[in-house]
Structure 1
C-alpha cells in the first residue's frame, strides 16, 4: 500500500469507528461505546505515524477535511447524547458524602 493510501485508510478507519460509536450512543449501548473508544484511540495513534511526510494535493486535502468534518460531527453528536446521562449521574452525587454508595446502589443492584 502506498503511503497516501495508508494515510487515507487510517482516516477512513477512524471515520468508520466514530460512526459505530455514534450508533452505540444513539442506542444507549455505553459499554460498546467505551470499547470502541479504545479502538478509536489506537487508530488515532497509528495515524500520527502514517502522517509523516505525506504531501497532499488540493483534492486530497479536501477529502481529508471531509473525513475530519465527519469525525468531528460524530463526536459532537456523541457528546450531545452522553451529556444528559452524565448530568443525571452528577446530580446523584450532589449533596452526598458517599459517592461510592450511590455507585453501589446503581450498579450493585443489576
Structure 2
C-alpha cells in the first residue's frame, strides 16, 4: 500500500501521542522505543518528500499536525526532564572521581 506524505505526518503525530502517554506513566523504555519508531517514520517521510508534494489543502493540515506534534513534544520534555536529571546524576556518581 502506498502512503501519502500526509499519512506519514499523521503516523508521526499518533506515535508522538503514544510517547506522551508513556511519559505520563513514566514508562521511559516505551518512550525510547516510540522515539525510535518516530525516527523511522521521519526518515521515510524525508525519502517520500523527495518525489512527492503536498496539495495546498494538505499543507494546511500538515501545519496543524506539526503544531500538535510540537505541543506534545514540549509536554514530553517537561515530563522527561526530572528523569533525565536523575539519570545524569546517576551517571555522574558512577564516573571515577579525579585525584587531586
Q: In structure 2, the residue corresponding to 1:54 is in which secondary structure?
A: coil
Question: Who is 1:21 aligned against?
Answer: 19
Deviates more, 1:71-80 or 1:50-59: 50-59
1:60-94 deviations in Å (ceiling 9; x for gaps): 21101011111111111111000011122333455
Deviations 1:40-70 (A, max 9, x none): 1100000001112434444221101011111
Query: Displaced runs of 4+ in structure 1, greater than 3 A?
Result: 53-58, 91-94
| Equivalent pair of 2:23/2:80 in contact (CA under 8 Å) | yes
Q: How does 1:76-87 map to 2 (within 5 A)?
A: 76-87=74-85
Q: Provide the aligned length of Structure 1 versus Structure 2.
A: 96
Does the C-alpha gap of structure 1 residues 78 and 88 become closer, same or farther in structure 2, counting only changes over 3 Å?
Answer: same
Q: TM-score, normalised by structure 2?
A: 0.81
TM-score after normalising by structure 1: 0.75
> Counterparts of 1:42 and 1:93 in 2: how far apart (Å)?
28
Which is higher, the Rg of structure 1 or of structure 2?
1
What residue in structure 1 maps to residue 95 of structure 2?
A: 99
Measure, in 1, the Cα distance between the counterparts of 2:54 and 2:29: 37
The residue number in structure 1 matching 2:41 is: 43
Q: Choose which of 55, 63, 66 in structure 2 pairs with 1:68.
A: 66
Gaps spanning 5+ residues in structure 1: where?
A: 101-110
Greater relative contact order (Cα < 8 A, sep 6+): 2
